[in-house]
Amino acid sequence: MATAEIDAPTDPLEGFRAHAREWLAAHFPPALKGKDNAMSAVEGPHENSPEEDAWQQAMGEKGWGVPTWPKEYGGGGLSRAEARVLQEEMARIGAWNPIGGMGVMMFGPTLLEYGSEEQKREHIPAIARGTVRWCQGYSEPGAGSDLASLQCFAEDKGDHYLVNGQKTWTSGGQWADKCFMLVRTDKTKKHEGITFLLCDMDTPGVEVKPIRLISGSSPFCETFFTDVKVPKANRVGEEGQGWTIGKRLLQHERSSLSGGGSTAGRMFAGAPLGQLAKKYVGIDEAGRIADADLRTRIVRHEMDLRAFMLTLRRASLEAKSNQGPSAATSIMKNVGARIMQERSELLIEIRGLAGLGWEGEGFEADALKDVRSWLFGKAVSIYGGSSEIQNNVIAKRILGMLDHQ
């Protein structure tokens, strides 16, 4: 047998791992090790450093910001197994994905399923490169949990729709380039009268007003549409198909918010709670956290967190390559929300008075950040579909419990 045959790798994944490791070593700036991905947040525009620009361009051109998306639209074309290897190799060197946001989390995967070929080629490459920011036009003042009662109306004007109405809680609306939105095109039908449109945020008649939250940030907006012209080419799917498409998009959103996506996953990051508790609460003679009740609750929380993350990983491993998120994302979203909020409460409790600072000297930067995350985190069980809505989805679509009159 030839030497080349003996030395040939038997596992294709190991060959890909070697390629990924070599490429990352050549393109990831060491100065960015451990830094965060501003593009995946909704806290505002981020002034990139030269290193960040170079890293985003490299990942965008490679398609690895969206590794499993088709190569013909700018994605990486990797299998799920290869994407996991890439993630492992990035974690090994402290690299992070510079491509994110709602285009990646929600709209892109949905457009790949429901969009026309022209729409995919127009929008997906820019999402894959991270050069366009998207926002979501779903909720309205009178249509939150009952989203299907939305009233923002799109009137058929031949080659375009004329949109009038209001959206609220538009995440990042003041910084977004484009908006994917649900509008009503038929007032005589509820679910069947909804259509999915794409709107440029600089279109005349679009106005955004940021909403200031108790956390001090303004990541959300009220968005007003007054005689806004939206070309019919910007309709995804058929007229009246918006509710079906919109529900699918929400499954992708809940998958990310549950912790499966990079945005929510970062909420689990930070110093171990036990380590922090020993610093602020102290230790007993055995070297354990001095407060026995707090020690027990921290252990239970860490067990829940690890079980949850393992469940997410198992669900990902078991998913077939041609399947997307299912109704099970409602379970993950509810559990993830509870664990996120529980962690925030523990962080505040552990630090005591030192964990209740808002600004000024005498407070650590991490403590100030955790206070804001604690306040912002109250919304986790509301946005993306409230916990009550998720319970309804679980009851009807997973447990098979139907309403009986």
253 a catalytic residue? yes
Burial class of residue 362 (count of CB atoms within 10 Å of its CB; 0-12, 13-18, 19+): exposed
- According to DSSP, the β-strands at 153-156 and 160-167 are antiparallel
Identified catalytic residue from 43, 155, 253, 361: 253
Q: What is the secondary structure of 248-310 as a DSSP string?
A: HHHHHHHHIIIIISHHHHGGG-SS-HHHHHHHHT-B-TTSSBS-HHHHHHHHHHHHHHHHHHH
Please report, as a single letter, which amino acid is at residue 153: F
List the structure tokens of 129. Answer: 């490169």
Q: Are 221 and 170 in contact (CB under 8 A)?
A: yes
Q: Residue type at 262? A: S
Bridge-based pairing state of the strands 178-184 and 206-211: unpaired
Residue 346 has which token pair?
């523990």
Bridge-based pairing of strands 160-167 and 220-231 is antiparallel
Q: Quick one: which H or E segment has residue 231?
A: strand 220-231
Distance from chain centroid for Cα 232: 28
Report the C-alpha gap between 130 and 262 in whole angstroms: 15
Q: Please state, in angstroms and rounded to a whole number, the distance separating the CA atoms of residues 99 and 75.
A: 11
Report the C-alpha gap between 337 and 331 in whole angstroms: 10
Active-site positions read: 253
